[in-house]
């Protein structure tokens, strides 16, 4: 510990030097303990805000069509915090289609892939609409939608049109038109 009598016995210039060193230590401590962490936290907050803005941009692009009107859609089990990371490449779309087709056959749904629709280009991603026509019961369709919800990539069920076939009313068979939007990187 520094004795104050010792400081008083020092010459004036040594006192000034010691005082300057003490001020420097206090300033350095303040910077490294208080200012620098808050600056790093502020930078991290700015990066998080930028990421949230990009995710919000993606979320609003999902919700609105090109005319700015709200579309009816169901986002199944997707958080926009993982949306940018979970967009697939163009090659992976075929794997998603094959997986849905395979799963629908396992669940005894008649599955027919309609020709893929036109690609909708956005700023930093593309939307690839994929339309299926399925034939089966309500429970099989529910299981298929649960399977789609567990796909790791960003897949949005855009619309479902359900029609009961007149000759199969007693057997609870329905025709389902399922339109999926698969989000891909450009």
CA atoms of 127 and 88, how far apart (whole Å): 10
For residue range 27-71, what is the model confidence (pLDDT) as tens digits? 887 777 776 666 666 677 677 667 666 655 554 444 444 544 444
Return the structure tokens found at 181.
């939007």
pLDDT tier for residue 76 given thresholds of 50, 70 and 90: very low
Report the pLDDT value the prediction gives residue 81, as an integer from 0 to 100: 37
- In the block, residue with structure tokens 């989000």: 183
CA atoms of 130 and 93, how far apart (whole Å): 9
Provide the sign of the torsion angle of the four alpha carbons 107, 113, 117, 123, taken in this order. positive
Provide the sign of the torsion angle of the four alpha carbons 147, 151, 112, 121, taken in this order. positive
CA atoms of 114 and 141, how far apart (whole Å): 17
On average, the pLDDT of the chain sits at 69
pTM value > 0.85: no
In residues, how long is the chain?
186
Query: 3-state SS string over the chain?
Result: CCCHHHHHHCCHHHHHHHHHHHHHHHHHHHHHHHHHHHHHHHHHHHHHHHHHHHHHHHHHHHHECCCCCECCCECCCCCCCCHHHHCECHHHHHHHHHHHHHHHHHCCCEEEECCCCCCEECCCEEEEEEEEEEEECHHHHHHHHHHHHCCCCCEEEEEEEEEECHHHHHHCCEEEEEEEEEEEEC
Report the pLDDT value the prediction gives residue 64, as an integer from 0 to 100: 46
| Residue 185 and residue 87 in contact, taking contact as beta carbons nearer than 8 Å | yes
């Amino acid at each position: 510990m520094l004795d104050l009598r010792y400081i008083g016995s020092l010459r004036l210039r040594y006192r000034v030097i010691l005082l300057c060193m003490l001020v420097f230590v206090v300033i350095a401590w303040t910077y490294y303990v208080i200012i620098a962490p808050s600056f790093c936290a502020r930078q991290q907050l700015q990066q998080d805000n930028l990421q949230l803005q990009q995710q919000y941009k993606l979320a609003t692009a999902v919700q609105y069509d090109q005319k700015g009107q709200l579309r009816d859609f169901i986002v199944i089990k997707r958080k926009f915090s993982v949306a940018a990371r979970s967009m697939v490449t163009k090659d992976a779309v075929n794997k998603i289609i094959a997986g849905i087709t395979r799963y629908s056959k396992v669940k005894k749904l008649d599955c027919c892939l309609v020709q893929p629709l036109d690609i909708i280009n956005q700023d930093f991603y593309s939307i690839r609409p994929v339309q299926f026509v399925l034939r089966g019961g309500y429970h099989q369709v529910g299981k298929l939608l649960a399977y789609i919800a567990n796909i790791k990539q960003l897949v949005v069920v855009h619309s479902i049109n359900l029609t009961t076939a007149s000759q199969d009313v007693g057997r609870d068979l329905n025709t389902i038109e399922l339109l999926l939007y698969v989000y891909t990187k450009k």
